[in-house]
Structure 1
Amino acid sequence: MMHDVIIVGGSYAGLSAGLQLARARRKVLVIDGGQRRNRFAATSHGFLGQDGQPPQVIAAEGRSQLMEYPSVTWVQDNVLQATGQLDEFSVSTQCNGTFQARRLILATGVVDELPAIEGLKERWGTRVFHCPYCHGYELDQGRIGVLATSPLSMHHALMLPDWGTTTLFTNGVLTPDAEQQAQLDRRGVQVQNSPVRRISGERADLELDDGQVFSLDGVFTISRTRISPLGEQLGCERVDGPTGPYLHTNEMRQTSRPGVFACGDTSLAAGSVALAVGEGVRAGTGTHFSLING
Structure 2
Amino acid sequence: METCLFDAIIVGGSYAGLSAALQLGRARRRILVIDEGLRRNRFAATSHGFLGQDGRAPNAIADDAREQLLRYPTVEWLNDRAEQACGSQDDFTITTAGGGSFSARRLLLALGVTDDLPDVAGLQERWGRSVFHCPYCHGFELDQGEIGVIASSHHSMHQALLLPDWGKTTLVLNGCFEPDEEQREQLDERGVTIEPGKIDRIEKNADLHLEDGRVLNFAGLFVLPQPRIAVPLANQLGCELEDALYPFIKTGFTQETSVPGVFACGDAARAAGSVAVAVGDGNVAGAALHQSLVFRKPEKRDQVAT
TM class by smaller structure: over 0.9
Work out which of the residue numbers 40, 55, 59 in structure 2 matches 1:56.
59
Tell me, in whole angstroms, the C-alpha distance in 1 between the residues paired with 2:31 and 2:64.
18
Instruction: Report the TM-score, using the length of structure 2 for normalisation.
Output: 0.94
Provide Cα deviations, 1:238-276, integer angstroms capped at 9, x if missing partner: 11121x110000100000000000000010111300000
Deviation at residue 96 of structure 1 after TM alignment: 4.7
Provide Cα deviations, 1:145-192, integer angstroms capped at 9, x if missing partner: 000111110110010010011100011121111111111111111110
Tell me, in whole angstroms, the C-alpha distance in 2 between the residues paired with 1:46 and 1:190.
28
Partner of 1:13: 16
Partner of 1:98: 101
The DSSP-based 3-state class of the residue aligned with 2:221 is: strand
After superposing on structure 2, the runs of 4+ consecutive aligned residues of structure 1 that deviate more than 6 Å are none
Equivalences for residues 111-260 of structure 1 within 5 A: 111-201=114-204, 203-227=205-229, 228-242=231-245, 244-260=246-262
Provide Cα deviations, 1:99-157, integer angstroms capped at 9, x if missing partner: 00000000010000000110000000001000000000000000100001111101100
Tell me, in whole angstroms, the C-alpha distance in 1 between the residues paired with 2:272 and 2:186.
24
Q: Is the 8 A contact 1:77 1:96 kept in 2?
A: no
Report % sequence identity: 58
Pair 1:65–1:96, CA change in 2 (3 A): farther
Tell me, in whole angstroms, the C-alpha distance in 1 between the residues paired with 2:138 and 2:25.
33
Deviation at residue 13 of structure 1 after TM alignment: 0.0
Tell me, in whole angstroms, the C-alpha distance in 2 between the residues paired with 1:226 and 1:183.
30
Letter in 2 for 1:265: D
Letter in 1 for 2:156: S
Provide Cα deviations, 1:5-54, integer angstroms capped at 9, x if missing partner: 00000000000000011111100100000000000000000000000000
Partner of 2:269: 267
Tell me, in whole angstroms, the C-alpha distance in 2 between the residues paired with 1:130 and 1:199.
16
Pair 1:73–1:96, CA change in 2 (3 A): farther
Q: Is the 8 A contact 1:3 1:28 kept in 2?
A: yes
Provide Cα deviations, 1:180-222, integer angstroms capped at 9, x if missing partner: 1111111111110011111111x11111112111011110000
Letter in 2 for 1:116: D
The DSSP-based 3-state class of the residue aligned with 2:16 is: helix
2:300 paired with 1:280: no
Tell me, in whole angstroms, the C-alpha distance in 2 between the residues paired with 1:236 and 1:218.
38
Runs of 5+ unmatched residues, structure 2 = 297-306
The DSSP-based 3-state class of the residue aligned with 2:10 is: strand
Deviation at residue 97 of structure 1 after TM alignment: 1.0
